[in-house]
Structure formats: structure tokens, C-alpha cells
Amino acid sequence: MKANQTKQAIVIGGSMAGLLTARVLSDYFERVTIVERDPVQDQPEARKGQPQTRHLHGLLANGLQIFSYYFPDLPAALAELDIFMGDMGETMRWYTHGGYRMNFHSGLDGVTLSRPQLEFMIRQRVLARPNVTLRDNCAIKQLLTTPDKEQVIGVMVEQRGTVTEQVRLMADFTVDCSGRGSRTPQWLKELGYDAPPESEVKVDVGYATRLYKRDPDDPRGRQWVLVTPDVVNDNCFGGAFAIENGRWIVTMGGWGGNHCPTDEAGFLEFARNLPAPDVYNIISQSEPISEIMTHKFPSSLRRHYEKLSHFPAGYLVLGDTIASFNPTYGQGMTSAAMQVRVLDQILAASPSLNKVAPAFFKKAAKVVDIPWQMVVGEDFRFATTSGVKPPGTDLINRYTAKVNRASHDDEVVGAAFLQVMNLLAPPPSLFKPRVLWRVLRYKEERETAVAAPATRQPIRQN
């Protein structure tokens, strides 16, 4: 498609996936309208329809690279904030599988800031484009189609305000980025199409988050802190990131109903009982400046649009609308950014909008395959996880556990792991001979030593 070859595009949903999609569509359409259900303020905020945005988020290196491609001034703007920004390998304080990962120069830039702040910065840049507008406080009631229902030509919206009214918005192309709660499967059935097959893996993850005042001179603010479990001993996790405005954001939780308490004493005790003391040391020495906020995530859900043989022209779904992952792994924003990049490439090469959906769903499925395999595979380490387990999962998990333990002392293994974690390399790359040899030669007595239950007594820091 040539730039501005067609006139109007609509994006359903004004969260991160919707904003990135609108940015790409602005290169191909004369007008792009983002339709968002919630009211949107011109400030960082966690809206009603975004219950998870108040919690700890990670933007992986691949995601940061894609964001920076579409918004070249973003890295400089991030550098002006009072946040962590630096090489991920050099600055991680990551306890897992009985020990801390070895620090090394990875060449992968990381950044920690709140999700509302990041989304606000992206929204400012998207809406600064002259052909992009936002209609907030606006609910989608139904899709509008041609009489034969073969093509979506717009949406019927309910504009809320002093007076509620229904408005028809017409478009050449509509993309649903409304997330996990997307109504597209229902709309497809109402139009006579099949709903996409679904894969669901139940994890019963729950976590709690609190903000704390951070001393700008605290050297721990120049690290990103994670404590993740070895199921031999535990099924809980914790993380502490330095974010804007001199704050720590601390999130803790677990799988299979092992959720973090929300009372003061219980929250602190949960941190004390993590297998490493880093999170406890931070919160026990810091002033809380927020309530304790909770979020529950029952299951990872994937909708297989690539398996549909018939789909209306002029329509697409993207982001969590396709696959919603267990958020404890931090894959969601980067997966959405990778899908948007695929859409951009397809629009640049496609002579017709009618050919976009089949090509996109096929390629998006390959994008989603990687984080889905990683997340689902990891979740099946826990006996409480239920669903269809991919063949070979247990064998892969045993090898991955060895990879994690080898990363305590081996830079090459650690670098390979970070490439996979940041969605810059596929999981099979961990089986390359150079990595495989280092993992398998890792001394059995060292594995036994570091896999032993860690002391529960935190080491207090002065």
C-alpha cells in the first residue's frame, strides 16, 4: 500500500497495542481514529479498564527497540526521567534457582518506569501526529458491514457524556486492540462466522503491589531486582523497580493460589519469606506511599485466528486480543509491539486491504508462538497449572532449570538466556552447541549446592 492510499482507519482500544497500531496506520491512512471505552486524561493514569497497569511492568529490550524505531525521540525523553536505564546484564539483581545470575555486559538496554507513565509518553507522541484523533468514553456496540457481511465498513459506537448517543463511524479498515475482553469472537458469530479456537492454561496467579519512597542516592535504584522461584522450594516471586518521581514499585505474588496478603504485616512477611532478601530489604527500609493494590490472573488465553478459513475483509485483531500471557513474565507489551511491526511490513507490501488479515494472522501466530511456548512451559513447572501441556514440556523444563543454574556463573549461558527472555532469539537457540555444552558440563555438585533451600533469614542492609 502507498502512503495515504486509503482514507479512514479505526482502532478499537487506546491502550499500548492500540496506540502502536494507530502509529503504524497513520503512515497508510488519511485519518486514524482511536476509540477508547474509558475517559482519558492528559496525564499518566491507570484507567478502569486497565486493572493491571498499576503493577510492576517490564519493557523488554526488543520492545524498547521497536518503540524507539517508531518514536526516535523516546530514548532521550526516557533518559530525562528519574528512572533506571542501562545495560540489563550489568544491572540485574536477579535471584533464581538458588542463586544470583552472573552480571555481564549484554548490549541490551533496559528501562524501568510505571506503565501509566510509559503509555502517557506514547499517547502524547501518537496524538501529536496530525491525522490521528482519540474518541474516549466511547463504547463499541457492534460492527458495521456490507449487506453480504463479507466486509467490515465501520463500527456503531455509544458516545457517553452529558447526553449518550449512538454514532456510526465508517472506515476502510478496523483493528480490534481491546485486549483480553475483546468481543470480536461474539461479533464474528453474530455475523455468521466461526469464532477462533482457543487455548487456555490455568495458573491462578495473584499478586499485590505497593509504591514506596526512594532515596535518589540509593545505589539499588540503579539495578532492577527480581526474585523468581525454583519450584523445588517455592512458587512465589517478587520484584522491585525504580520508577519516576523518586519511587519504588514493588510487586509480589505467586502461582496456584499462593497470593500475596494485602495487610501491612502480611505483605512484609511475604517479602521476608521470599528465597532472597533483596525485596524485603528495600521495603523494610522505605516509606510506603500508596495502598496495597491487588490483581488476579486466572489463565493465559490464546485465540487462534490463524486457523480460521473465513474472516471479514477490512478487519483485524491484534495484541492481547490474540494472546494474553501470564503477566509475571513481562512479555505482553513486547509481543504487541512485534505484532505491530509485522502489520507495518504487511501493509507496506500488500496491494489490497482484503489480503491483510490472512497474511497477518499467519505471521502473528509465529510471533506469538515464542512467548506462548516460554510462558506456558514455565507455568507447567507448577503442579497447580492445568490445561493442554505441549509435548516435551517436562524435558525442556528440566533443561531450562540447568540453564538458569548455569547462568549463575557462566556469561555465555546468561547472555543466551537474556536474548531469549527479551524475545530477540527463539527458545531453541538455548540448545545451540556452544550453549548446550556449557550447560551440560556444569558440575553436578554445584547444581546440588545452589538448588538447596535458601535461608529465609534476610540479610539487612545498612
Is the pLDDT at 430 greater than 80, yes or no? yes
Q: Is residue 156 part of a domain?
A: yes
Kind and range of the H or E element at 440? Answer: helix 433-441
Q: Is residue 169 part of a domain?
A: yes
- What's the residue count for the chain? 462
Q: Is residue 352 part of a domain?
A: yes
User: Which cell numbers in the block locate residue 197?
Assistant: 479456537
d(CA 43, CA 15): 14
d(CA 243, CA 286): 14
Does 445 or 243 have the greater pLDDT score?
Answer: 243
Whether the Cβ atoms of residue 133 and residue 40 lie closer than 8 Å to each other: no
158-203, pLDDT tens digit by residue?
988 777 789 999 999 999 999 999 999 999 999 999 999 999 999 9
For 111, phi and psi rounded to 5 degrees?
-150, 140
Lowest mean per-residue pLDDT among 65-69, 72-76, 304-308, 444-448: 444-448
Q: What mean pLDDT do residues 56-62 have?
A: 91
Whether the Cβ atoms of residue 15 and residue 9 lie closer than 8 Å to each other: no
Whether the Cβ atoms of residue 180 and residue 324 lie closer than 8 Å to each other: yes
Q: What mean pLDDT do residues 125-141 have?
A: 96
Q: How would residue 233 be classed by pLDDT, with cut points 50, 70 and 90?
A: low
Q: Is residue 277 part of a domain?
A: no
Q: What mean pLDDT do residues 410-432 have?
A: 95
Which residues neighbour 64 within 8 Å (Cβ) at sequence distance 6 or greater? 75, 109, 110, 111
Whether the Cβ atoms of residue 40 and residue 136 lie closer than 8 Å to each other: yes
Q: Is residue 281 part of a domain?
A: no
User: Average pLDDT over the chain, rounded to whole?
Assistant: 91
Q: Is residue 258 part of a domain?
A: no
Strand, helix or coil at 374? helix
Closest CA to 255 of 273, 230, 218: 230
Residue 24: which domain range? 6-76+117-199+300-367
**Cα distance between the two ends of the chain:** 61
d(CA 343, CA 171): 18
d(CA 173, CA 158): 19
Q: Is residue 375 part of a domain?
A: no
Whether the Cβ atoms of residue 417 and residue 407 lie closer than 8 Å to each other: yes
Does 390 or 21 have the greater pLDDT score?
Answer: 21
How many domains is the chain partitioned into structurally?
1
d(CA 281, CA 443): 32
- State the alpha helices, DSSP H only, in 263-355: 264-272, 278-284, 332-349
Residue with cell 461479533: 187
d(CA 95, CA 229): 8
Is the pLDDT at 461 greater than 50, yes or no? no
Kind and range of the H or E element at 293? Answer: strand 293-303
| Domain CATH code at residue 34 | 3.50.50.60
Q: What is the largest CA-CA distance in the chain?
A: 72
Q: How would residue 352 be classed by pLDDT, with cut points 50, 70 and 90?
A: confident
User: Which cell numbers in the block locate residue 22?
Assistant: 494507530
Q: What mean pLDDT do residues 224-253 have?
A: 92
Helices 433-441 and 393-406 cross at an angle (nearest 10°) of 80
Is the pLDDT at 454 greater than 70, yes or no? no
Which residues neighbour 399 within 8 Å (Cβ) at sequence distance 6 or greater? 430, 431, 439
Lowest mean per-residue pLDDT among 43-52, 78-87, 335-344, 441-450: 441-450
Whether the Cβ atoms of residue 230 and residue 401 lie closer than 8 Å to each other: yes
Q: Is residue 148 part of a domain?
A: yes
Instruction: Provide the CA 133 distance to its chain's centre, in angstroms.
Output: 25
- State the alpha helices, DSSP H only, in 10-102: 16-25, 61-70, 74-79, 88-91
